[in-house]
Structure 1
Amino acid sequence: MRMPRTILAGAVTLALAGAAACGGGDGEAQRPAGATALYDALPDGIKEAGVIRFAGDSHPPYRIVADDGKTVTGIDKELQDALGKVLGVRTEISIVSGLPAALSGMLASRYDAFNGPVKDSADREKQFDAIVWMVTRTSYLIPTAGASAIKSSGDLCGKRVAGTAGSIVEDQAKRLTEWCAKQGKPGLEFIGFADTNGTILAAKSGRADAAGMTESAALDVLSKEKDAFTYVTQTEEQGAGVDQLAMLVPKSSGLGPVMLDAFKEIFKNGDYKKIMDKYGLQNVAVPAPKMNTAATQ
């Protein structure tokens, strides 16, 4: 029995439409329903995987890691979910041991991004695109038992300060040591740890006199253990300044410009403000995201 032309034509049309919906040729990613221009601009590898893989160490309130070592809550999770939504892909976080592991993992293509937040520097911009989305000052948690001896950041001269190795805090501690020397005082003894939890435990146990971290992280600890710590903040005179904090993505991936546009979108739709307000970070929020600011300074 011959099929009428109208039915045959309709069947061909449906077959072609079905092929287009499946994404075309072998290995080509299926375009999600409602995908925007941001999705279309993503690198092919991410579109095929359908996920952006973030590296992340334990760093409250940015990344709060549950006892299972895998479940992550906090600013990073919410920010990455918001970015993934406007990009049209999932996001996931793999917990690593500190900044060096995150950087080497990205360069080895195990991860697509690291949100730190880490300081945007000209040296890092040689290998990574840095999308600046907040600023910070460095603060130091002081155990209540030692608070009488450390009432200001200047009292840290000659003291043992724990901090995340390779982080902005280590750089700030060096600047504070230089200030101490100008005052004729001994410098800080910096003790590097893999993550923020390690620095807090060092201060609690007496292995360090203070734990250095971003002011937002210090405030988060105080909100949970208000009777255990006080804190002091490094001043501009002591070399602190206001540092630009960024998300890093490898330059070779081509993800940087698309991620910048995704940040612009969550600024525009209000998600960025909601997250910053929720965690009390209004004072370190920026009016707009920028990329690779260190290279232009």
Structure 2
Amino acid sequence: MRAKFALIPLVAAALALTGCAASGGESPAETADSAPTGADAPLYDLLPDDIKEAGVITMAGDTHPPYRTIESDGAFTGIDPDLQAALSAQLGVPFEMATSSGLDAMLTGMLSGRYDGFNGPVRATPEREADFDAIVWMTTRTSYVYPADKEKDFPDSEAVCGKRVAGVQGSVVETQLERLNEWCVAEGLDPAELIGLEDTNSTVLALNSGRADLVGTTQASAIDLIATQAGKYGYVMQTDEQGAGVDQLAMFLPKGSGLAEPMMAAFEAIFEDGQYEEIMAAYGIEDASVDKPVLNPYTG
């Protein structure tokens, strides 16, 4: 039986994009609101029976701007809800977000049937693909956010060496910081210290309180933080030489749930019709886009 916990409906009116496509087309929320539902939707027949019976896809969610922000009325806004609205128009059932915190809790919750999926940002790895189907839909590079009054202390990412970096436990930041530290040590510099915390809000609080010197986060989150709090922060980005590479971020779905095939088809559809490109452009993260979605890049 599919359990429900603290569900917050993704009401279409609350999900409007922060920007509109140059073509003037509908936003994903408007598309979902006017799209066929149930059996009339293009990909409804691909859904597993338990999803059809429930009439909803339950996703784990936390506060992680710009991917997800919980507004004062309890609604979620951001990249993730906008993406889900576009996918919903293809699948014929709405998405609901169940509030959760901490990557371990979300992964465990999916395996126990509490959630149908989680859209991260989570890095696809061979180990995670043992338990989950991963649909890669964007990339990222780790950025290190500092207080604006410390700008002279951080001319480039080399200055991260030896500093205290607040990051979300289990996130891509952990792996990227390990690579950066290897580079730091090779250069004769002290490694950075990771302060692992539960969520993004906690990392920013650590920075503001002086507990951390920097916040390690995705490029999209750094851009959003600086845009929403103008003049308060700056950031430097880890380089390829420092082991940044390009990590693949994915939506995770429990193995054997029957959701991988229809969800992948829905992603392919919104890539083809341009909605994916519109969403990425609306949030200014086109350089994190991928040419096409990929199912299970390591084990597929």
TM-score normalised over the length of structure 1: 0.86
- Mark the structure with the bigger radius of gyration: 1
Match of 1:117 in 2: 121
- Give matches, 1:113-262, under 5 Å: 113-262=117-266
**Deviation at 1:273?**
1.3
Unaligned runs of 5+ in 2: 1-36
Instruction: Answer whether contact 1:57 1:99 (CA < 8 A) is retained.
Output: no
**Deviation at 1:224?**
1.2
Q: Matched residues in 2 for 1:273 and 1:92: separation?
A: 23
Q: Matched residues in 2 for 1:35 and 1:284: separation?
A: 29
Give the paired residue count: 264
Task: Kindly provide the amino acid, as one letter, of the partner of residue 69 in structure 2.
Answer: I
Match of 1:94 in 2: 98
Unaligned runs of 5+ in 1: 1-30
Could you list the per-position Cα deviations for residues 95-131 of structure 1 after superposition, in whole angstroms to 9, with x for gaps in the alignment? 1112111101100100001000211110100000000
Instruction: Answer whether contact 1:134 1:286 (CA < 8 A) is retained.
Output: yes
Task: Kindly provide the amino acid, as one letter, of the partner of residue 144 in structure 2.
Answer: Y
Task: Kindly provide the amino acid, as one letter, of the partner of residue 200 in structure 1.
Answer: V
Could you list the per-position Cα deviations for residues 17-75 of structure 1 after superposition, in whole angstroms to 9, with x for gaps in the alignment? xxxxxxxxxxxxxx935233x2111111101001000001110000011235x321011
| Equivalent residue in structure 2 for 1:44, among 43, 49, 69 | 49
Name segments (4+ residues, structure 1) moved above 2 Å: none
Match of 1:265 in 2: 269
Q: Matched residues in 1 for 2:176 and 2:38: separation?
A: 45
SS of match in other structure, 1:262 = helix
Q: Matched residues in 2 for 1:192 and 1:85: separation?
A: 37
Identity %: 52
Instruction: Answer whether contact 1:121 1:295 (CA < 8 A) is retained.
Output: no
Instruction: Answer whether contact 2:164 2:214 (CA < 8 A) is retained.
Output: yes
Q: Matched residues in 2 for 1:178 and 1:169: separation?
A: 14
Q: Matched residues in 2 for 1:271 and 1:160: separation?
A: 39
Instruction: Answer whether contact 1:276 1:285 (CA < 8 A) is retained.
Output: yes
Instruction: Answer whether contact 1:141 1:231 (CA < 8 A) is retained.
Output: yes
**Deviation at 1:145?**
2.5
SS of match in other structure, 2:167 = strand
Q: Matched residues in 1 for 2:149 and 2:41: separation?
A: 55
Q: Matched residues in 2 for 1:294 and 1:143: separation?
A: 38
Match of 1:61 in 2: 66
**Deviation at 1:196?**
1.1
